[in-house]
Chain A
């Protein structure tokens, strides 16, 4: 599978601050998916990115796919306590789906 490294592992923010998690690969990715897993829950699909340089937005969430298709990011503007959870990127193009280790977001009210 295509290995993906995700940073940071943890991120503490005050409510209202922004948050970004990064996903990096040494090889070109066919596509990348982002998931959110709440504490004690299961991963929930957020979005898929396929095209080089693609940018997609979902309300306060902005997803980007790098021009070289080797990296991706998820940015949350003005975090809320409901954003708490672990965000995973997943590369699935070869069809050995590979998840990053995840970034756990902790939001302090």
Chain B
């Protein structure tokens, strides 16, 4: 098991609401990436945070935003939820200067939007 934790495990929200998901990175890791994984698909990159700043973003609208804290933990915020936002949200931590692009994934948060 990795040291990456996510909360909550499951969440049900109504369309139009806002949600905050949390991630604690593995000890010693300074980078957190967030992914959205729909059923039967590969993880889709949302964005990455390094040294508390966004350091790369995938094809997601601005209503997906994030934060990274000094202890390298991170939040993903999604505003104005849509039905298509229902998915497994994964965070992954890594060490930016590592020679190997190895990411350690957390168990994920299953978000259902009704």
Contacts and interface: CB of A to CB of B under 8 A. Distances in A.
Nearest to A4: B42
Q: Give the secondary structure class of A's interface.
A: loop
Interface residues of A, number: 21
Contact of B45 (A41, A88, A97): A97
Contacts of B104: 45
Contacts of A92: 101
A99 interface: yes
B90 A42 contact: yes
A95 B103 CA distance: 12
Interface residues of B, number: 24
A99 B108 CA distance: 17
Contact of B42 (A44, A95, A96, A99): A99
A1 B45 contact: yes
17 contacts: A1-B45, A6-B42, A33-B102, A33-B103, A42-B106, A43-B43, A43-B92, A43-B105, A45-B102, A48-B102, A96-B45, A97-B103, A99-B42, A99-B44, A101-B40, A101-B41, A102-B42
Interface of A: 1, 6, 31, 33, 41-45, 48, 88, 90, 92, 95-102
Interface of B: 33, 35, 40-45, 48, 55-58, 90, 92, 100-108
